């Protein structure tokens, strides 16, 4: 039996729900259906931000906001002028969900619970009579005249306008490939680096601002770096993983990373400072007192790695030791061997080629009345709420066109 809905959204995630709710709100006479393959909808929203859902980011200038997207920055510029972070805050506020901003700009529901966002979506779907069907996995879609016919298990549906918001599902990308769309190969983004190195093995938990560089991939970033039990994490590293998602995949996650533990300094400038310290503190033990506001344990580790013994005094340091210490402080090299999942947020780089999408409407340029939003597109961002913002913006603009 072929069941008809005016609008069908495949994928019960962030982008799918935002699209469906906005369609129904724009035009209450439309019969809207969300089809979700899983038993539950909004799974990633539930897990997101460590269960708190980092909904968006307090960045209100479109030109700045787009700089958070290694893939999609050019294409999102126009859409962000129509619906961006401030609009997201207002949208949730209008539905009784207040957001708060943390020091680093990330925004969460004041309840600190992703269930608040899920409850909001569920309530909206009930009020707007949007049908949500779970356990329904899209198998195929084809256009028949002015309508889309879609096959879901043993059932068939038809609709006038179809949205695919299936995230990073390779099966759907393959269906799209068969329909003529180009798909950019998927690789992981937002991961942490595995490093086995004596200098950091006893330092998990230490976090500090640093400048980091991967010369082999011509990548650099800065910000908080966290030493973990398995290597490096923190925003500075996650940014590298996002911007270098493809390059680091090509290197099979084996590369060398340089860390400057004293941002703003370099090997030359630090040597001069170390010479001054040698004069000023000639009688003091180098190891004992941490310099440059570095955590004591890190200072100890870098001093020993420079070939300076625990009882050496500043006056004892020779040229080579000063140079070693300068290098350890501002250009410490570590070998990365593999990656680990960052549990608070991860995404896939890759998806529908952006050249084939109209970013006024998020409609396919190849197939009229077929729309996309969210991670199915070759768009992804650094961590901080920007990935959801892509889903909200795409969903909102597609909904406008689909209503």
Ligand X SMILES: Cc1cc2nc3c(=O)[nH]c(=O)nc-3n(C[C@H](O)[C@H](O)[C@H](O)COP(=O)(O)OP(=O)(O)OC[C@H]3O[C@@H](n4cnc5c(N)ncnc54)[C@H](O)[C@@H]3O)c2cc1C
Which pairs count as long-range contacts for 365-368, CB under 8 Å and 24+ apart, including other chains?
A: 366/179, 366/180, 366/181, 367/143, 367/179, 367/180
Question: Nearest CA to 329 among 385, 373, 286, 389?
Answer: 286
CA dihedral 377, 382, 387, 390 (to 10 degrees): -60
- Write each residue from 97 to 136 as x if it is in contact with ligand X (CB under 6 A), else as -, in one continuous string: ----------------------------------------
* C-alpha dihedral, 266 to 268 to 270 to 275, nearest 10°: 180
Tell me: does residue 371 bind ligand X (CB under 6 A).
no
In the complex, the smallest distance separating the C-beta of residue 186 from ligand X, rounded to whole angstroms, is 12
Distance of CA 76 to the CA centre of its chain: 15
d(CA 203, CA 298): 7
Tokens of 227: 């030493």
In angstroms, what is the minimal distance from the CB of 373 to ligand X?
A: 7
Alpha helices, H only, 10-97: 14-26, 43-51, 62-65, 73-82, 85-94
Nearer to ligand X, 243 or 299 (CB): 243
CB of 115 to ligand X, least distance (A): 14
Contacts of 126 (CB under 8 A, 6+ apart): none
User: What is the rounded CA–CA span in Å between residue 11 and residue 165?
Assistant: 5
Q: Count the neighbouring beta carbons within 10 Å of the beta carbon of residue 39.
A: 8
Q: Which is nearer to ligand X, 168 or 323 (CB)?
A: 168
Least Cβ distance, residue 98 to ligand X (angstroms)? 17
Chosen residue from 12, 72, 79, 351 binding ligand X by CB under 6 A: 12
Between 72 and 326, whose beta carbon lies closer to ligand X?
A: 72
Cβ proximity to ligand X: between 228 and 389 the closer is 389
Residue 41 or 271: the one with the smaller Cβ distance to ligand X is 41
259 lines the binding site for ligand X (CB under 6 A): no
User: What is the smallest separation between the CB atom of 206 and ligand X, expressed in angstroms?
Assistant: 24
Return the SS3 of 375.
Answer: helix
Segment lying near ligand X (by CB under 6 A), choices 22-30, 203-211, 323-331, 373-381:
373-381
Kindly state the tokens that stand for 181.
């769309």
Task: Assess 391 for contact with ligand X (CB under 6 A).
Answer: yes
Of residues 54 and 260, the one with the C-beta less far from ligand X: 54
* Residue 53 within binding range of ligand X, rule CB under 6 A: yes
Site for ligand X in 162-221 (CB under 6 A): 165-167, 169, 172
Interface with ligand X in residues 13-42 (CB under 6 A): 13-16, 35-38
Report the interface residues with ligand X, using CB under 6 A: 10-16, 35-38, 43-44, 47-49, 53-54, 137-138, 165-167, 169, 172, 344-347, 374-376, 385-388, 391
């Amino acid at each position: 039996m072929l069941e008809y809905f005016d609008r069908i959204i495949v994928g019960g995630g962030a982008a799918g729900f935002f699209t469906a709710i906005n369609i129904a709100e724009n035009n209450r006479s439309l019969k809207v259906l969300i089809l979700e393959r899983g038993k539950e909808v909004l799974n990633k929203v539930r897990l997101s931000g460590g269960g708190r859902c980092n909904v968006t980011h307090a960045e209100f200038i479109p030109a700045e906001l787009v700089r958070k997207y290694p893939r999609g920055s050019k294409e999102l510029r126009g859409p962000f002028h129509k619906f961006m972070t401030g609009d997201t805050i207002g949208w949730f506020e209008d539905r009784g969900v207040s957001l708060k901003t943390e020091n680093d700009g990330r925004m969460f529901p004041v309840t600190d619970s992703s269930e608040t966002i899920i409850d909001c979506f569920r309530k909206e779907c009930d009020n707007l009579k949007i049908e949500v069907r779970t356990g329904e996995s899209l198998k195929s879609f084809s256009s028949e005249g002015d309508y889309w016919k879609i096959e879901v298990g043993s059932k068939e549906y038809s609709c006038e306008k179809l949205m695919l918001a299936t995230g990073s599902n390779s099966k759907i990308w393959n269906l799209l490939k068969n329909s003529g769309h180009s798909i950019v190969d998927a690789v992981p983004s937002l991961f942490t680096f595995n490093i086995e190195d004596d200098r950091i093995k006893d330092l998990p938990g230490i976090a500090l601002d640093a400048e980091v560089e991967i010369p082999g991939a011509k990548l650099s970033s800065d910000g908080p770096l966290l030493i973990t039990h398995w290597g490096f994490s923190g925003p500075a590293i996650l940014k590298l993983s996002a911007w270098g998602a493809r390059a680091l995949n090509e290197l099979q996650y084996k590369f060398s990373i340089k860390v400057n533990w004293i941002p703003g300094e370099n090997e030359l400038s630090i040597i001069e400072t170390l010479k001054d310290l040698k004069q000023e503190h000639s009688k003091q033990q180098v190891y004992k007192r941490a310099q440059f506001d570095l955590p004591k344990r890190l200072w100890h580790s870098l001093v020993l790695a420079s070939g300076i013994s625990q009882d050496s005094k500043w006056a004892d340091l020779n040229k080579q030791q000063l140079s070693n210490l300068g290098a350890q402080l501002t250009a410490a090299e570590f070998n990365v061997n593999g990656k680990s999942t960052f549990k608070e947020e991860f995404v896939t780089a890759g998806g529908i080629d952006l050249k084939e999408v109209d970013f006024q409407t998020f409609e396919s340029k190849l197939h009229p009345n077929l729309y996309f939003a969210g991670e199915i597109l070759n768009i992804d961002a650094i961590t901080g709420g920007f990935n959801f913002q892509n889903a909200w913006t795409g969903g909102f603009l597609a909904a406008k066109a689909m209503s």
